[in-house]
Amino acid sequence: MLRFLTYRLFSTLLVCTGVSIMVFLLIHMVPGDPVDMMLGESARPADRAALRHALGLDQPLWTQFSQYFSGLFQGNLGVSIHSSRPVSELLLERAPATIELALAALLVSVIIALPMGVLAAVRRNTLWDRGAMAFSLLGVSIPNFWLGPMLILVFSLGLGWFPVSGREYSGSLVLPAITLGTAMAAVLSRMVRSSLLEVLGEDFIRTARAKGMPERIVVWKHALLNALLPVITLLGLQLGVLLGGAVITETVFSWPGLGKLTIDAILRRDYPVVQGAILLISITYVVVNMLTDIIYGIVDPRIRLGSTK
């Protein structure tokens, strides 16, 4: 077990290092000058040079890279070019909103996917099964940037049930959570269906039915509990996907989370904030995947034995 944990921790550290390097390089390859965004193109050359020197943008790329990594090791993500506030402070302000949205979307996906997947497995090759799989295909195909505005048009502008955007009002979380959770529910329902179908063919299920147990008990108590292991694994992996996918949803609904902060920082060419936000989202995704692998390895010893060969 110690060897398995060491292997996973080393892999995670290696991936995080690669992500840090890629984030720095990609951000500096984006066209545009933050000095122009802050002072305007009509600013005097002396003012532009002074601001560029104050931000450290006049230094060679290698020097900026070494300062960037030195700051990371010290827990310093830099200072925002736009607001002159520490990047870590901005991230801490916005992180709770993104976590709230991701957990709500996860709950929506489970509420939709679990009964749908069970129904599709129990009623295999019937109209219920085809309908559930059609919804799954539709949910995967519809992008968030289209579904979000459609929900706003119908339930906010049309029916007036929910706020259009923001986080201040009651019910503001509903539409963003549905938008973000629908695609995950589509994937999750297919996993529940396939996993449950596999378990329903096992010998212990036939034994339970032969003893005269009600079908409801056989499906929900015996079959579903044994079919949830791959589903739980997928939930852990999809939680990281939700954090990344929240960028589009937060922009559509003006949700004040990390995704909205990232988009605003990109438009302002605020390099430190963009680097910090993308780095935090990426590392969170990697860490969630690592924890999922560790939990899976604890539950199923075959996983940790196979990964360390």
| pLDDT, position 34 | 62
Residues of the chain with CATH 1.10.3720.10: 94-267
| pLDDT, position 164 | 80
Report pTM: 0.74
| pLDDT, position 167 | 78
Is 94-267 a CATH 1.10.3720.10 domain?
yes
Contact assessment for residue 192 and residue 152, using Cβ atoms and an 8 Å cutoff: no
Please state, in angstroms and rounded to a whole number, the distance separating the CA atoms of residues 167 and 256.
7
| pLDDT, position 35 | 65
Please state, in angstroms and rounded to a whole number, the distance separating the CA atoms of residues 232 and 238.
10
Contact assessment for residue 144 and residue 180, using Cβ atoms and an 8 Å cutoff: yes
- Give the tokens for residue 201: 């063919």
Length in residues, the chain: 309
Contact assessment for residue 169 and residue 212, using Cβ atoms and an 8 Å cutoff: no
3-class DSSP string for 27-55: HHHCCCCHHHHHHCCCCCHHHHHHHHHHH
pLDDT of the chain, 309 residues: tens digit per residue: 667 667 777 777 787 778 778 777 776 666 666 666 666 666 677 767 776 776 666 777 777 777 777 777 777 777 787 777 888 888 888 888 888 888 888 888 888 888 888 888 878 878 887 887 787 788 777 877 788 888 888 888 888 788 887 777 778 888 888 888 887 888 888 888 888 877 777 777 777 777 777 777 777 776 777 777 777 777 777 776 676 657 788 888 888 888 888 888 877 777 778 878 888 877 887 777 777 777 766 665 555 555 545
Please state, in angstroms and rounded to a whole number, the distance separating the CA atoms of residues 62 and 68.
10
| pLDDT, position 83 | 77
Amino acid letter, residue 220: W
> Containing H/E element for 100?
helix 87-122
Q: How far is CA 138 from each of CA 141, 179, 182, 253, rounded to the nearest angstrom?
A: 5, 13, 10, 22
| pLDDT, position 245 | 58
CA 251 to chain CA centroid, nearest Å: 14
| pLDDT, position 134 | 82
Q: How far is CA 84 from each of CA 79, 103, 193, rounded to the nearest angstrom?
A: 6, 31, 51
| pLDDT, position 304 | 52
Please state, in angstroms and rounded to a whole number, the distance separating the CA atoms of residues 272 and 120.
48
What three-state secondary structure class fits 256?
Answer: coil
